[in-house]
Structure 1
Amino acid sequence: MNAETANPDRKASLELALRRRILTMELPPGSVLDEVALSEEFGLSRPPVRELMRQMAGEGYIELETNRAARVSSMSYQSLRDFFLLAPMIYITANKLAAENRTKTELAVLKKIQHCFRKAVEDCDVESRVFYNDQFHRQIGEMAHNVYVVPSLRRLQIDHARIGKIFYQHPNTPRMQEELELASDQHEQMIEAIERRDAEASGELARLHIELSRRNMAMYAAPEGLETPTL
């Protein structure tokens, strides 16, 4: 029995760690992923690490090119523009479908994630805020039960988390804390709308939520007064 068979959770642990490191920008955009180091860190041989790299490349976390080391997916002003233009449509659709298709079990998971997000806001824990915000919207995407919406939402969330991390690296201010608390309140309202299967209210809350994010992110995406796309 090899180590991977004896420890089936190692690959899952590596996947979770890579997602978190990329989303929180512990691994910055464009940074090289050391396959050998990751294999040693998680007690895996290189084939399952490569398999995971291919999977995460398909999701948009990683860039793979022939004869080049795997790299964390890059970010540019064009990708920011694309994000701001597309995000409202995808988030609103996901929220509406989640309200229509959610299960009680999925709703319970969403509530647990929100509890972690709110605690991170209260504790001023930047990395946990970014991570659990990503998990919150990822869960809503799963609750949508739509094979076309989920991949698009997941790809958007990668840059959403990383742009958010850039914003939240700045010193906390009363205004920033107020808006974080507003974002957390909007999460709670989304849960309520999804629980009562109110698709229109859930979609409208998603629109307000992404607009809140857009206003904050735009200040740092274009600090020199560069025009940012409107919704």
Structure 2
Amino acid sequence: MTEPAPTPKAIACADLRRAILLLEIAPGTPLDEAGLCTRYGMSRTPLREVMQQLAGEGYIAQRQNRGAQVSDMSHKTLRDFFLAAPMIYGAVLQLAATNATPQQLRDLKAAQRDFRAALAAEDVADRTLANDRFHRVTGEMADNLYLLPSFHRLLIDHARIGMTFFRAHSETRAETLSEAARQHDAMIAAIETRDPTAAATLAQAHWALSRDEIERFVMPQGLDAPLGTVPRTAAQ
């Protein structure tokens, strides 16, 4: 049997998720509902259902009487990202090692193959999407009602920041990406052997690996104030 064709709503959701993750639509950009209706051949009612779904997933924010906009990346959201990421990644990997199903392991290995292929091809968009998929599968493995919404929101900003991280122009950064791929392999092994302690340790190492690159994205060159602080001259 052939798969049924995707509905306009499904196409719109997938397109908008991808465009937001890849920064094709910038953070904070208002979304033109009339233009999206025309683009996807749907009326306002199904489009607003799409907007509600994307808002629930953390891709967009719906503002009263002002329409929807892409979720912002303000100083506060980035500061919160830095504070929450190591805790959330560690908890997700621990639960993944406890709860993963055989099919989810196959999905994770497939995402890792895609990630390595994108690294070899030096395709920034594919690297970002494959990495996002890899970590989303670990979230599916964790299967925690309270943890997943925060994890999914975290991954949106991690992917958007990753559009910078995955542009490996230097030899050092290319080696960092290779190490990230090796850590993915080690995570798969820890999950497969049901070792939550090793999985959590790997999550922390994986975060530490990418933290310096993320800070370069957040902090302009030459500005060395810790994230979340106010320079003395600005506070006076």
TM-score normalised over the length of structure 1: 0.91
Q: Distance in 2 between matches of 1:213 and 1:107?
A: 24
Which residue is equivalent to 1:221? 218
Structure 1 runs of 4+ with >4 Å offset: none
TM-score normalised over the length of structure 2: 0.89
Q: Distance in 2 between matches of 1:107 and 1:191?
A: 8
Q: Distance in 2 between matches of 1:168 and 1:116?
A: 14
Q: Distance in 2 between matches of 1:7 and 1:124?
A: 31
Structure 2 regions of 5+ residues with no counterpart? 229-236
| 1:165 partnered with 2:163 | yes
Which amino acid in 1 is paired with 2:197?
Answer: E
Which amino acid in 2 is paired with 1:217?
Answer: I
Aligned with residue 200 of structure 2, among 193, 200, 203:
203
Deviates more, 1:44-53 or 1:152-161: 44-53
| 1:192 partnered with 2:189 | yes
Instruction: Output aligned runs, 1:33-182, within 5 Å.
Output: 33-169=31-167, 172-182=169-179
Q: Aligned-pair RMSD on alpha carbons?
A: 1.6
1:84 deviation in Å?
0.7
1:130 deviation in Å?
1.0
1:41 deviation in Å?
2.4
Q: Distance in 1 between matches of 2:170 and 2:7?
A: 40
1:42 deviation in Å?
2.5
Which amino acid in 2 is paired with 1:113?
Answer: A
Percent identical among aligned pairs is 47
Which amino acid in 2 is paired with 1:225?
Answer: D
Q: Deviations over 1:120-164 (max 9, x none)?
A: 111111111111111111110011111011111001111111112
1:53 deviation in Å?
0.6
Label 1:59 to 1:141 Cα distance change in 2 as closer, same or farther (>3 A): same
Q: Distance in 1 between matches of 2:5 and 2:202?
A: 42
Q: Distance in 2 between matches of 1:136 and 1:7?
A: 26
- Check whether the contact 2:29–2:69 (CA below 8 A) recurs between aligned residues: yes
SS at the partner of 1:30? Answer: coil
1:7 deviation in Å?
5.2
